[in-house]
Amino acid sequence: METLTLDRLMEIMRECAGEEEGANAGGDIGDTEFAALGYDSLALLETAARIEREYQVRLGDETVTEAKTPGALLSLVNRTISEVV
């Protein structure tokens, strides 16, 4: 199974919830908190549902709320993908 990349994750987020905020503020986007990027709980739920469909995985209810940054979400998703495989 194909793993999720940070670029693809951010692309999905933009489609699901619009452009991130403070994108040019420098620093690694993967380590920036969703809140700082302007993404709220709905944005995350919409994104998670999309990932579940595209990558044929089930992310636990808690998984999504636990991940505070794109990087954290990415590793959660990829861990789940590898478990499925």
Partner 1 sequence: MTRRAVITGIGVVAPDAIGLKRYWELLSEGRTATRRISFFDPSPFRSQIAAECDFDPTREGLSAQQIRRMDRAAQFAVVSARESLGDSGLDLDRLHRSRVGVVIGTAVGSTMSLEEEYVVVSDGGRLRLVDEQYAVPHLFNSFVPSSFAAEVAWDVAANGPVATVSTGCTSGLDAVGHAVDLVREGSADVMVTGATDAPISPITVACFDAIKATTPRNDDPAHASRPFDRTRNGFVLGEGAAMFVVEELRHARQRGAHIYAEVAGFATRSNAFHMTGLRPDGREQAEAIRAALRQAHRAPSDVDYVNAHGSGTKQNDRHETAALKRSLGEHAHRVPVSGIKSMIGHSLGAIGSLEIAACALAMRNGLIPPTANLHEPDPECDLDYVPLRARRKELDTVLTIGSGFGGFQSAMVLCGAGEVAG
Partner 2 sequence: MTSTVVVTGMGVVAPTGIGVDEHWAATLRGTCAIDRVSRFDPTPYRSTLAAEVPGFVPEEHLPSRLIPQTDHMTRLALVAADQALQNADLDVPSLPEFGVGVVTASSAGGFDFGHRELEKLWSKGPEHVSAYQSFAWFYAVNTGQISIRHGLRGPSGVLVTEQAGGLDALAQARRQVRQGTRAMIGGGVDGSLCAWGWVAQQTGGRLSTAQAPDRAYLPFDAGACGQVPGEGGALLVLESADDARARGAEVYGALLGYAATFDPPPGSAGPSTLRRAAELALRDAGVEARDIDVVFADAAGLPDLDRAEAQTLAEVFGGCAVPVTAPKTMTGRLAAGGASLDVATALLAIRHGVIPPTVNVTRPLPDYRLDLVTRPRRATLSAALVLARGHGGFNAAMVVGRERR
Residues that bind partner 2 (CB under 8 A): 14-19, 21, 38, 42-43, 45-46, 49, 52-53
Residue 61 interacting partner from partner 2, partner 1, none (CB closer than 5 to 8 Å by kind): partner 1
3-class state of residue 71 by DSSP: helix
Q: How far is the CB of 28 from partner 1 (least distance, A)?
A: 27
Question: Which amino acid is present at 13?
Answer: M
21 forms part of the interface with partner 1 (CB under 8 A): no
Question: What is the spatial distance between Cα 13 and Cα 6, in angstroms, rounded to a whole number?
Answer: 10
67's CB contacts (< 8 A; 6+ apart) are 34, 44, 73, 76
Contact set with partner 1 (CB under 8 A): 40-42, 45-46, 49, 61
